[in-house]
Chain A
Amino acid sequence: MQTTHPQAFDGDDVLFAPVLRTGRGFYTAAVFLLAVAAWGAYAYTYQLRYGLGVTGLNRPVAWGFYIVNFVFFIGISHAGTLISAILRLCNAEWRRPITRAAETITVLVLFFGLGSIIIDLGRPDRLFYVMQYGRLQSPLLWDVTSITTYLTASTLYLYLPLIPDLALLRDRARGWRRQLYTAISLGWRGTPEQHRRLERGISVMAVLVIPIAVSVHTVVSWVFSMTLQPMWKSTIFGPYFVTGAIFSGMAALIIAMAAVRRAYHLENYLKPVHFNSLALLLLTMSLLWFYFTFAEHLTAYYGGELAEGAVLFAKVTGPYAPEFWAMVVLNLVIPLAIMANRRTRTVAGIVTASASVLVGMWLERYLIVVPTLANPRLPYARGLYSPTWVEWSITAGAFALFILLYMVFTKLFPIISIWEVREGRERGIQEAYERIESYLPTPTPGTQPSGRVPGVGAAVPSH
């Protein structure tokens, strides 16, 4: 369907194309995802009607898939805002085509993190009691506070850099789209004053969002580590969770980038160098994650405390051993094997490693939540947890709905920040050159011609 002015697009028309034209493949995928999400919604209504008894939750395993999903989704949310903000503050020029894809993941996935908590409640109507009678002594309420703050910050951080692109779309779209973009582009015209205000806002948010993001997953870890449960009460849980969150978030970002690159033919924007840079970061996070995991488990083993030993051996050699060793293979062995080798560090290889990490990190969250509850410190009978079709269906529905919403976002807004890419072309090269030049010692006059790259002799283009 044609929704554009007949005016010619400029060189970046491939970035407008997904927004202004929709092919059959999108609708096919959307129908499938909607069907899975509808099945998940049916399972949830079934749970609402008959209560949490229809799930595999029991005594003592009172937390299962829903809390695993909550921790996993909140972790994925670190893909965007944190990575994007760090790269922006570091003036990493290669960030420009990837920031929007990352920030979108953050905002959308946070809704599913919050939703998982609501699904876990047998009586969601009682959620309002938190608002009325909440006690900020509880880490659960710290979570409510920090996640709400993070969601607000991430939404604003996604919206601000979107404004100039909304104006670009406003000038090209027709019908209801034109009205929508006009309303939310805030009358953007690209005047110097508007640029000044926008850049100031983005800079403030980039600084603010980093401590918020770190605090969110630290607070999520405190929900566990503030208890006396075996293998939960740990001082390294905060950084361990943050590391795992960034690790899984990067994997999600790589997969999202690969998907939009293939679906919308964005090979000229999302280049192998972007995947390679993220892969090296992912490899670093894989090793860091293994370091924390090893430290956590070695301390539990060496301490020899009975309750901790029960959880540890349930994971390593007991009923959770398949999941545990699968987690090690998926989070360490496969990423290491693929990404440490330059020949296998291709786009396909990196995406394979990222998919492996995503599954592995979900298993890691499962292994944090369930074995400890199944082997409690207090003298309760030990339990086992076996999720029912309701939990599987709701989980599948949540993932399907997330993917669907991400697809819909790419149909409403450019998934690559057009104005930032253009700015990179116009100013980035010169700024990067000047920045690198400022790092280097000042050459002795007469030994090095100004404006030339040492050892190369080629003049740097001036802008």
Chain B
Amino acid sequence: MNPVARTVLQRLGLGLVTLFIVSIIIFSAIAMLPGDFAKAMLGQSATPETVAAFQREIGIDRPPVERYFVWVGQMLHGDFGSSFASRTGYRRTVAEIIAPRLYNTMFLASMTALIAVPLALGLGILAALYRNGWFDRLVNAVTLTTISFPEFFVAYMLAYLVISRDTFIGSEFAQSLPHWLAVSLNWILNAVPKFPTLSNVNDQTPFWDHVWRVALPAITLTLVIVAHMMRMTRAAIINMLASPYIDMARLKGMSPMAIVLRHALPNAWAPIVTVVAFNLAYLVVGVVVVEVVFVYPGIGQLMVDAVKSRDVPVVQACALIFAATYILLNLTADIISIATNPRLLHPR
């Protein structure tokens, strides 16, 4: 078999094994959590009989091992189970709870990725090209600054900026400034588009309206993840620039831009995509703070709510989705690393 196809299949198999192990960990961790959902739901005054009946109804009276296999078995059939919030005659499946939230999260993540990845690569390439020059220093300083602030701070600052657009000129602060300065600041603020500071969407929201509404969270997340990817791009390219074949390209009279793009970059993909994958995974699993700030109905908030109400099936499903995201993105990164290595792609 083609060695690349073999490696990819191998990694895929390993990914599935990892996912299986993660499912065990998730299940046992949640099974070991203190507290009882039935008691929490029915209140202090519930009789033991009522509690037992309720436990039977939602199936948590069985031994954990059996419950685990039922859970996994159902998932293999595409059934993620029912939420504990279901009532008799009114079944709420985990899938129907998660689906819209997952869509929103993926929407925000994709939009951020579409902005952040090209931006980070472009800045990284330019920083490598003009390494140690003023452009390099500036980009490094700015991206390091944005990554150093907590994300809620960045989020609120952006929201504040958008609000100031209308309120600045009448504020006391503006009054205290010299007139020309206040006017020009106002002029700059007015150049900021009037992004919505609340990203409330539902399943009826039209596509482009959705894009518009998640603009601020997407920008916030971009500011948070761009530094890491950009610095890795820069470092990976500069690392390559020390290779003998780069010297050769210089002696062939290639321009610095051609050297970076054609000679260094193709050999630098492996470390870059690893970091990109890591940051994209973060966009899916780590954005709950930004969701809260902009009141965006994503999966992060859903999971927090589910933990609060001890809705175990939803928590488990969310955790599993997060794990799968990590595994899948890292797998993709591995495959891209392999696919950009001519030694593996074109064996002797």
Chain A complexes with chain B: no
Residues of A within 8 A of B (CB): none
